[in-house]
Amino acid sequence: MSDTIFSKIIRGEIPCHKVYEDAHVLAFLDVNPLSPGHTLVIPKEPAVTVDALSDDASAAIGRVLPRISRAVLGATGASAFNILQNNGALAHQAVFHVHFHIIPKYDDGTGLGIGWKPQSFDHAAGKELAGKIAATLAK
Ligand code: 5GP
């Protein structure tokens, strides 16, 4: 993958407001926050999208995501938050290095706005698709 702004932040070439770092993970405040405390949690492994992330890097993220979320809530006083993870330009990804947004949601409505438009569900098609996904996973 090509170098991104997040690779430069990992290498310390660009400053950030760091909140957490270990051998595999870095977390820092988003520079264009949707709300106070909006934090980005990134693997140091340079994968573009989450489906390309190694098991070890994803385990390292999963291990600390709840802890960092608790710290964001504790420091901001927020009681609700969203975790957002975009993959691909079509899905609103702008920085092509895997990242998880922790976005506090406040009583005044600041935080992540969600356009959630559920479609009708066809159980026959759903059964076929679930089988297909499961078969792909088993490969
Ligand atoms: P995406 O749309 O790719 O999921 O979100 C990328 C996020 O990275 C955006 O929320 C944007 O504000 C944040 N971002 C982009 N460049 C920088 C930067 O140089 N520093 C920090 N701290 N955040 C950045």
What residue spans define the domains of the chain? 5-138
Instruction: Provide the pLDDT for residue 29.
Output: 98
Check 24, 99, 101, 123 and give the catalytic one: 99
Contact at 8 Å (CB) between 103 and 38? yes
Q: Judge: domain 5-138, CATH 3.30.428.10.
A: yes
- 16 Cβ closer than 6 Å to some ligand 1 atom: yes
Instruction: Provide the pLDDT for residue 87.
Output: 98
- 83 Cβ closer than 6 Å to some ligand 1 atom: no
Structure tokens at 74: 């504790």
Structure tokens at 25: 């993970």
- 4 Cβ closer than 6 Å to some ligand 1 atom: no
Contact at 8 Å (CB) between 77 and 71? no
Contact at 8 Å (CB) between 105 and 126? no
Burial 100-109 (b: 16+ CB within 10 A, else e): bbbbbbbeee
List the strands of the sheet with 80-84, edge to edge.
Answer: 18-21, 25-29, 39-43, 100-105, 80-84
- For residue 66, report the distance from its CA to the centre of ligand 1, in Å: 21
CA torsion sign for 58, 59, 65, 68 is negative
**What radius of gyration do the chain's Cα atoms show?**
17
- 91 Cβ closer than 6 Å to some ligand 1 atom: no
Beta strand 18-21 with 25-29 is antiparallel
Pocket test for ligand 1, best of 5, 9, 18 (most atoms within 8 A of CB): 5
pLDDT < 50: residue spans in the chain: none
Q: Atom 20 of ligand 1 has which residue's CA nearest to it?
A: 31
Instruction: Provide the pLDDT for residue 1.
Output: 61
Residues belonging to the chain = 139
